[in-house]
Structure 1
């Protein structure tokens, strides 16, 4: 997730159990683009010890090929093409989810990348731009270019995060594709993870927002699938996570107000699992100092009760709290 699940976040979350592999923020690709150093750090200095997939977003075929060749000189195990980002600033430029309006261009891009990329080639997509009917036309294109892994977010671009996830489309991809398929969308607990795997038959899950809210989720999913008791952190453990997150993702080089503003990107997600009325989120969005922010968190988290950290209203119109953190 852009500007959120970055190198410092990876380093922190790995200590809570961590994912099996990580996908970088997207490298913006155009005729004059160069690899963003902050994102490249996630690949070159990978702090997780787990495989890393380098993600690209763009629509210019020669530039995507150039960037893919550069990235595969790093330690990335795969190059990922983003066909799913629903941010208007992205799709209006015919990138990310916007490419789903031009399957002929998708076909050309994948043909060029498949020829140029010697590591794994992966794709993340939504099920259409504004009409999921296009998904049936997309799947043969993906198969024809022999991609190595497909991740499907079960909504259209226009649905953003508002609708229920259409898991039947992910199941359809599992049925049709010759490569493994990863399910994405609204995985907010270990129980939900198990349900999504059962519904779709997917080979695995991609989790973004849920892992920001609950960094123990990867551990919990493994425990649940293994038939073990699922660990639930106490309020104070969640409070310590928030404190550690602040230290990890903000820099002393910038003013405190900007550090607090960056932290709100994360608290927008975490807050959905803290209390049901929205009062935490309402107050959090108005704090301007670290002291006020941490004091507010302590009001709700300084206790020893176990916390599921599930959103009190699943998704809770999370498009309203993205704060610029799109994928």
Structure 2
């Protein structure tokens, strides 16, 4: 039996917060805790190489976890001794599992044969999994894309994953080359569900309840890992729970979305920030919040011009306080 199973709900699909570097950090966890926790948090990835040590600011997410919900620490790298050393070190903290990132598509990461770049080297993945499993006494999970260049590569990758006793597999249904294009290969996630003896989480293209229902229905996944959808709509975990339980689903308004942005601004502020630095950081979140907010992308267009806090909040007020309707009508 998977070592992760006891940390997952038994009466509905699991809801998992995706790791997004420099986005889903401790301040964001605090915000999500206010609106509705996932069943499982994944940390941002710990960069692992010959001279690395676990980054303190990511360790704080574990040690100061505001929710009490279980946490999995994610690693990214390709040096086996360093990965082993880091996995051992991370188990000294309050985590229920260690995850290996095989999905990050960032070119700078792939050039180092880490993250999604490792998908070009299945034999190295095989060796890494073989080395890590014996030193991880808690759950050992993998987050992967379905290939580097082609979805056809997933057959070979899945053959490797099934040979190792991992406790969960998260499948982002795109190749590295596809980045975040609209296409999602649900058939490959379904293939993993059929082949793996452990829970499989579907990742990608879930911004609302209908998309969540579709992903679960066509893949048979044990749960959903959500990233961009939760940044856009921090009520999403709560909405999905209510929907599954047959309870009334909350429909937040644009005014409540404006309050979410206020809370996010307060939580992510650091004393060393200059005003323009903080606005720049907030834009990383607002790029997701603005998805589908208006048909002509006027909110995002205006937001890109904001440099100072007064400009930033003026844009928010202009677009979010003009009426009090639901901001996500598809929910």
Mean CA deviation greater in 291-300 or 119-128: 291-300
Instruction: Normalising by structure 1, report the TM-score.
Output: 0.93
Task: Tell me what 1:5 maps to.
Answer: 24
Task: Tell me what 2:244 maps to.
Answer: 225
Task: Tell me what 2:294 maps to.
Answer: 275
Cα displacement (A) at 1:245: 0.5
Task: Tell me what 1:50 maps to.
Answer: 69
Work out whether residues 213 and 309 of structure 1, in 8 Å CA contact, stay in contact via their aligned partners in 2.
Answer: no
Divergent runs of 4+, >3 A: none
Q: Deviations over 1:2-25 (max 9, x none)?
A: 000100100111111121110000
Instruction: Give the SS at the match of 2:104.
Output: coil
Work out whether residues 124 and 153 of structure 1, in 8 Å CA contact, stay in contact via their aligned partners in 2.
Answer: yes
Q: How far apart are the structure 2 equivalents of 1:90 and 1:69? A: 23
Work out whether residues 254 and 320 of structure 2, in 8 Å CA contact, stay in contact via their aligned partners in 1.
Answer: yes
Q: How far apart are the structure 1 equivalents of 2:119 and 2:140? A: 18
Please, which of 313, 318, 321 is the counterpart of residue 294 of structure 1? 313
Q: How far apart are the structure 2 equivalents of 1:126 and 1:254? A: 35
Mean CA deviation greater in 60-69 or 264-273: 264-273
What are the within-5 Å matches in structure 2 for residues 211-290 of structure 1?
211-290=230-309
Cα displacement (A) at 1:142: 1.1
Instruction: Give the SS at the match of 1:30.
Output: coil
Structure 2, unmatched stretches of 5+, are: 1-19
What are the within-5 Å matches in structure 2 for residues 1-327 of structure 1?
1-302=20-321, 303-308=323-328
Q: Deviations over 1:260-305 (max 9, x none)?
A: 0000000011011321201111110111111111111111111321
Instruction: Normalising by structure 2, report the TM-score.
Output: 0.92
Task: Tell me what 1:320 maps to.
Answer: none
**Aligned residues between the structures:** 311
Cα displacement (A) at 1:70: 0.2
Q: Deviations over 1:206-231 (max 9, x none)?
A: 00011000000001111122222321
Q: Deviations over 1:125-160 (max 9, x none)?
A: 000000111111111211211100000000000000
Work out whether residues 74 and 101 of structure 2, in 8 Å CA contact, stay in contact via their aligned partners in 1.
Answer: yes
Instruction: Give the SS at the match of 1:257.
Output: helix
Work out whether residues 273 and 310 of structure 1, in 8 Å CA contact, stay in contact via their aligned partners in 2.
Answer: no
Q: How far apart are the structure 1 equivalents of 2:95 and 2:77? A: 19
Instruction: Give the SS at the match of 1:15.
Output: helix
Q: How far apart are the structure 1 equivalents of 2:32 and 2:252? A: 14
Cα displacement (A) at 1:46: 1.1
Change (3 A) 1:46 1:275: same
